Structure 1
Amino acid sequence: MGPPTRPTPSLLARRSWPEARRIGDILRTETVGGILLVAAAAVGLLWANSPWADGYRWLSDLKVGPAALHLDLTLHQWAADGLLAIFFFVAGLELKREFVAGDLRDPRRAALPVAAAVGGMAVPALLYTSINAAAGSEALVGWAIPTATDIAFALAVLAVISTHLPSALRTFLLTLAVVDDLLAITIIAVFYTDSLSWGPLALAAIPLGLFALLVQRRVRSWWLLLPLAVATWVLVHESGVHATVAGVLLGFAVPVIRRSPGPGPGLAEHFEHRFRPLSAGVAVPIFAFFAAGVTVGGAAELGASLGDSVTLGIIVGLVVGKPVGVLGSSWLVQRFTRARLADDLGWTDVLGLALLAGIGFTVSLLIGELAFGEGSSGDEHVKIGVLLGSLLSAMLATVVLRMRNRRYRRICAEEERDTDADGVPDVYETDQAGD
């Protein structure tokens, strides 16, 4: 009797019911935040191009904060450096949870979203670089702008077009976005730190270490943790490293696994429940309001912006590079692992998510400001490129995903069908019995 045959690995298969339920809760919060983000960006864009544009610029340039600590920042800078630190803190919590207790802890499950995220960042960067190669180093500094995926904006698009993604596709989209965030954070820290002051950076380790010590002891008292978090942020900001990196480091410090078995969320999940609504509903929309306020001007000015290689590189990177990178990397994983796509799903579904990944907004605009300088002509071209590229990606994704929506409705109906009293859909119990 020969050795047992190994089952053919399956890509985009359903995960466990607790994981599917957790991801569903996250995506519902992010969907509401995404709608607020789109609304805030639209208000900022309209205000910046209205007869009251001077009021928008005055508000954006209004300085507040203590000058003695070098924190007399404009409201726009507070949104980018301060509020986005909350967004990256939540990203750090989600990253650690995925690597410790989520899909990324299993190399077989992690292979597809990791490869898709890497390909989805590499190809847009290469396309942008090739388009701007003749423009010189001033334009090439923005190579990372079209590499980011905005999960909140993408989910807002899904909500608007009323499509029903199956749990496997939702998990893939969220995990891809988590890895994308990790790569974006690394790029910001490594490539967009102009000057580094080692003294404040070394001092930042003190409050960060105390914060880590307290959370490892499962301390939840905000009056102890918040001052340490603020001190870490201030010192990282003073060091020259972008202050949002402090948010990621603080998120990484929070433990995921409960110290003792029992009901209730762990500390990372507890913080995530507390701060995700603040991030999605307040921090990111306010940043979008200030970041999206580009003056479009007339047809001549818009035509000049579209003729700029920076704008063109961003649009091509988002609309073409993202889907080619995500879809191509996913196909290579399937080819070399000899895996097959899960039943009822096909490469058209992967294409739809790959197009959706071309919606790069929050982090793309942040990298654009770091690359070209806030308010510069290059930054204005970045905003137009990101807005148009994200809009085109959203429209293309809408066409593909709406074509598959009838199938998605059927799959979701099967996943939600429940004939037992335990609250777990039958299809997940069947999967568990098969495993």
Structure 2
Amino acid sequence: MTAPRDNNRDDRPFLGRLTLPERNFVADALRAETVGGILLLLAAVVALIWANTFGGSYESVSDFHIGPSSLGLDLSIQHWAADGLLAIFFFVAGVELKRELVAGELRDPRAAALPVVAALCGMIAPALVYLTVTGIGGGSAAGWAVPTATDIAFALAVLAVLGASLPSALRAFLLTLAVVDDLFAIMIIAVFFTEDLNFAALGGAAAGLLLFWLLLRMGVRGWYVYVPLALAIWGLMYNSGVHATIAGVAMGLMLRCTRREGEQQSPGEHIEHLVRPISAGFAVPLFALFSAGVAVTGKSLGDVFTRPETLGVVLGLVVGKALGIFGGTWLTARFTKAELNTDLRWPDVFALASLAGIGFTVSLLIGELAFKGDAVLTDEVKASVLVGSLIAAILAGVLLKMRVRTYQALYAEEERDDDMSGIPDVYEQDDPAYHLRMAAIYEEKAAEHRRKADAAGASREDGDGPA
């Protein structure tokens, strides 16, 4: 292991050790996302089994309509999951983005350059791969945005299943990458998948957002104020023609994510802590349950690799994501002062880039939006998202397993707490009290060793020990 480094942001190398507050935040966030990702995997499996064994009942439930038609909200269950529940997911994404911008990796332009460029390249490259494949094969260019999104929960679930003990810096980079990725995905949805605008409803949504912001600035508290207002904003945004999930993002971005004197958590962190389990454990898995159910046959799987639209999605996720993120990261580091952590290698970055090829939640959503009205092609594109994500997961798993001993050693070093203080030793090495505690521990161990040696010697003298 290399010598401990100063954790100041300006001196920290790319993928170097995080500061203790950042480490703790990342650990909490990823813990919830990992559990949610496992539930997401289970929901996807249930959806596939349900759709391929009792397909009629799956379609009946998915297409069942409920909601007040007078408000323009007589929607199918699948529609409620995509437009309603995913608004919760995007609300959490908005809070994450706000926190990153004001208190995380993105607040410093120099630190933000790497994940921003990496995420941007990781969206441009898959789109170009898709357009190249469909251009050569004569397919539809409408699905160019499908392979551009990364599903952080799914990716972390794969890590949990593989048991890879990634050091916090790699996990933080993946999380920051996904946050920026979500931002660009939100922009794509808002710009390219907005239908005919209803300016009255859009104006009402804007007025609701303004009221939401004013109430926050006035310090008004109470879920009974914000939840009804949020539902009204969501309904107006849906009826405006702009995708309703944008309302969730906008409200998340309005929350204050900086801590004031005497605060252990900012309002944004507190609300995110409350809402994230709902998003990861309920909203996203239910969306997966009613979106991932596609009929899988030998012919349909064969079509994934022969039809230009579906092949473009698979290659975009597997090849485009990996090359785009890795290439963007390497070029940014090459032409800036960013230096890679000496404990890691560029193949580690490529493995992480391959893991980002797991696109599920937002990819499925964009697939539904891109091919609305063509149910057959929509299902085929969904199948290609599943296949591409599976291939990316296997590839990333193999690459990560090749370096698992290095990751385990770094992870163990980060987690080691010999003095039992509750704070990892690497963050205490400049604290004189830490050295006093460690000296006492070593002295106690030495005394115990001497007592055992004396007892063994006495036992041999009495004839009880080995000859």
Same fold, TM exceeding 0.5? yes
Asked if the contact 2:39/2:285 (under 8 Å) is kept, the reply is yes
**Map of 1:411 onto structure 2:** 410
Distance change in 2, residues 1:184/1:430 (3 Å): farther
What secondary structure sits across from 1:179 in the alignment? helix
Is 1:20 the counterpart of 2:19? The answer is no
Superposed, 1:211-360 pairs within 5 Å as 211-258=212-259, 260-297=260-297, 299-360=298-359
* Deviation of 1:11 (Å): 1.1
CA distance in 2, matches of 1:302, 1:404: 32
Distance change in 2, residues 1:300/1:423 (3 Å): closer
**Map of 1:133 onto structure 2:** 135
CA distance in 1, matches of 2:287, 2:263: 37
**Map of 1:99 onto structure 2:** 101
User: Which of 24, 30, 34 is the aligned partner of 1:31?
Assistant: 34
**Map of 2:203 onto structure 1:** 202
Give RMSD over aligned pairs: 1.7
* Deviation of 1:275 (Å): 0.3
Asked if the contact 2:300/2:380 (under 8 Å) is kept, the reply is no
Superposed, 1:361-380 pairs within 5 Å as 361-373=360-372, 376-380=375-379
User: Which of 37, 47, 51 is the aligned partner of 1:44?
Assistant: 47
Asked if the contact 1:218/1:267 (under 8 Å) is kept, the reply is no
**Map of 1:69 onto structure 2:** 71
Is 1:394 the counterpart of 2:397? The answer is no
Q: Which moved more, 1:404-413 or 1:173-182?
A: 404-413
Counterpart residue identity of residue 31, structure 1: T
CA distance in 2, matches of 1:408, 1:134: 41
* Deviation of 1:8 (Å): 7.6
* Deviation of 1:347 (Å): 0.7
CA distance in 2, matches of 1:277, 1:346: 34
Asked if the contact 1:8/1:339 (under 8 Å) is kept, the reply is no
Distance change in 2, residues 1:312/1:217 (3 Å): same
Asked if the contact 1:146/1:317 (under 8 Å) is kept, the reply is yes
What secondary structure sits across from 1:218 in the alignment? coil
**Map of 1:171 onto structure 2:** 172
Deviations 1:122-164 (A, max 9, x none): 100001011112566x711110000000000000000000000
CA distance in 1, matches of 2:347, 2:282: 35
CA distance in 1, matches of 2:398, 2:219: 47
CA distance in 2, matches of 1:244, 1:229: 12
Where structure 1 has 5 or more consecutive residues not aligned to the other structure, the ranges are: 1-6
CA distance in 2, matches of 1:65, 1:9: 52
* Deviation of 1:196 (Å): 1.2
User: Which of 80, 83, 86 is the aligned partner of 1:84?
Assistant: 86
CA distance in 1, matches of 2:144, 2:123: 10
Is 1:117 the counterpart of 2:119? The answer is yes
Asked if the contact 2:18/2:169 (under 8 Å) is kept, the reply is yes
CA distance in 2, matches of 1:35, 1:432: 39
CA distance in 1, matches of 2:431, 2:182: 31
CA distance in 2, matches of 1:379, 1:87: 22
**Map of 1:4 onto structure 2:** none
Deviations 1:347-385 (A, max 9, x none): 111011001000000000000000001661221111111
**Map of 2:56 onto structure 1:** 54
Deviations 1:14-65 (A, max 9, x none): 1210110110011010000000000001100111111x21111100000000
CA distance in 1, matches of 2:44, 2:192: 27
What secondary structure sits across from 1:132 in the alignment? helix
Deviations 1:197-243 (A, max 9, x none): 11110111222111111122333301101111011100100000000
* Deviation of 1:420 (Å): 4.5
Structure of higher CA gyration radius: 2
CA distance in 2, matches of 1:399, 1:66: 50
**Map of 2:144 onto structure 1:** 143
Counterpart residue identity of residue 284, structure 2: V
Counterpart residue identity of residue 184, structure 2: L
Asked if the contact 2:40/2:288 (under 8 Å) is kept, the reply is yes
Asked if the contact 1:314/1:386 (under 8 Å) is kept, the reply is yes
* Deviation of 1:339 (Å): 2.9
**Map of 1:3 onto structure 2:** none
CA distance in 1, matches of 2:65, 2:431: 57
Counterpart residue identity of residue 53, structure 1: G
Superposed, 1:187-198 pairs within 5 Å as 187-198=188-199
* Deviation of 1:115 (Å): 1.1
Runs of 4+ in 1 over 6 A off after TM superposition: none
Distance change in 2, residues 1:316/1:391 (3 Å): same
Distance change in 2, residues 1:431/1:352 (3 Å): farther
CA distance in 2, matches of 1:184, 1:301: 28
CA distance in 2, matches of 1:151, 1:374: 29
CA distance in 2, matches of 1:107, 1:431: 28
Asked if the contact 1:8/1:338 (under 8 Å) is kept, the reply is no
CA distance in 2, matches of 1:28, 1:428: 21
Asked if the contact 1:9/1:338 (under 8 Å) is kept, the reply is no
Asked if the contact 1:41/1:288 (under 8 Å) is kept, the reply is yes
Q: Which moved more, 1:23-32 or 1:333-342?
A: 333-342
Q: Which moved more, 1:411-420 or 1:19-28?
A: 411-420
Seq. identity, %: 57
